[in-house]
Amino acid sequence: MYYMGVDVGSVSTDIVLIDSNYNVIEELYLKTKGKPINAIQEGFKLLKNKYNSKQINAVGTTGSGRHISSFIIGADAVKNEITAHAVAALNINKNVRTIIEIGGQDSKIILLKDGVAIDFAMNTVCAAGTGSFLDRQAERLDIAIEDFGEYALRSKSPVRIAGRCAVFAESDMIHKQQLGYSEEDIVRGLCEALVRNYLNNVAKGKEIKSEIFFQGGVAANIGMKDAFENALGEQVTIPKHYKMMGAIGAAIIAREALMKSGEKTAFKGFNLADMTFTSKSFECNGCSNNCEVVKIISKNKEIGSFGDRCGKWGNKTAV
């Protein structure tokens, strides 16, 4: 029997299956491309050929698209990314005190004490340092993103790049190229600039203590890991499933929720991969919030709604 975690983000949709010992049995990394439902269905098409729906004992969702995915899948637990990442990290190491998480579009810091998240901060305004920004710079330099970190480690004399803004960072990189600096020194300079940006903005005022975990897609860049270690003077650990930590945390949360309640899973099965879903929105005039509510419809039946602040529509999820 397995437990599923689904992390729907703006860049990627991550799906994992874990066993009762929290070992990762299956992991899927899919591009969201602005269509979270399609991404989930793509993942389910792959899973239905290997697993039976009855093998899934619980399902948890997280990420920016956690509500819409919970309606479609039939989730047993819906949690924010902060909680999901913290749970996954603590499952690996109970002594984790700081989590640095940098994904495709945002970055965050999570501080923990005695196994509990006590503080966090997020940066969703500036794209500097996120995965999409690094992808764009790697493409502009004609360097495979997988090799970006290796270039940084080969640097002998990194240049200083202005990293407080994505636009300024890119302009400064172009200027340094025109001056004849090597790609290795520019890439290393960029990594150091983005780490400074993270520490001066996202982590501003936060006391970073070891042990430190580095999670999210950007953790694949060993240049960023090395730059963090140099800036902090501490060892930074990248967990094995660094890209999937949100989904893993969601799966663990779902398993523990059903163990506590004793209920059966609400999972609707892998056949959702073959269904057709449509979305319709309307403005609720029930109060001054005037929320834009989105309805998910399949076969002329409302599957669920989300977007309301009070739960008036969201609590009417169809079975």
Query: How many domains is the chain built from?
Result: 2
Is 81 contained in some domain? no
113 and 177 co-located in one domain: yes
Is 175 contained in some domain? yes
pLDDT for 201 equals: 86
225 and 97 co-located in one domain: yes
Domain-ending residue, one of 239, 255, 288: 239
Is 73 contained in some domain? no
Is 43 contained in some domain? no
Which residues have a Cβ under 8 Å from the Cβ of 174 and sit 6 or more positions away? none
Task: Give the domain CATH number at 198.
Answer: 3.30.420.40
Q: What are 31's two structure tokens?
A: 């591009």
pLDDT for 249 equals: 97
Q: Which band of pLDDT confidence, cut at 50, 70 and 90, is reported for residue 267?
A: very high
160 and 234 co-located in one domain: yes
* 76-85, 121-130, 139-148, 192-201: which is most confident: 76-85
Domain-ending residue, one of 216, 239, 262: 239
What is this structure's pTM? 0.86
What are the DSSP calls for 262-316, one per residue? -PPP----GGGGG---EEEEEE--SSTT--EEEEEEETTEEEEEE--SSSTTGGG
* Contact present, 225 and 219 (Cβ < 8 Å): yes
192 and 299 co-located in one domain: no
109 and 219 co-located in one domain: yes
Whole-number mean pLDDT of the chain? 88
Give the angle 146-218-233 at the CA atoms, nearest 5°. 110
Domain that holds residue 284: 276-319
Please give the C-alpha separations between residue 211 and each of 65, 87, 90, 207, 234, in angstroms, as whole numbers: 30, 15, 11, 12, 8
103 and 232 co-located in one domain: yes
Which is more confident, 84 or 202?
84
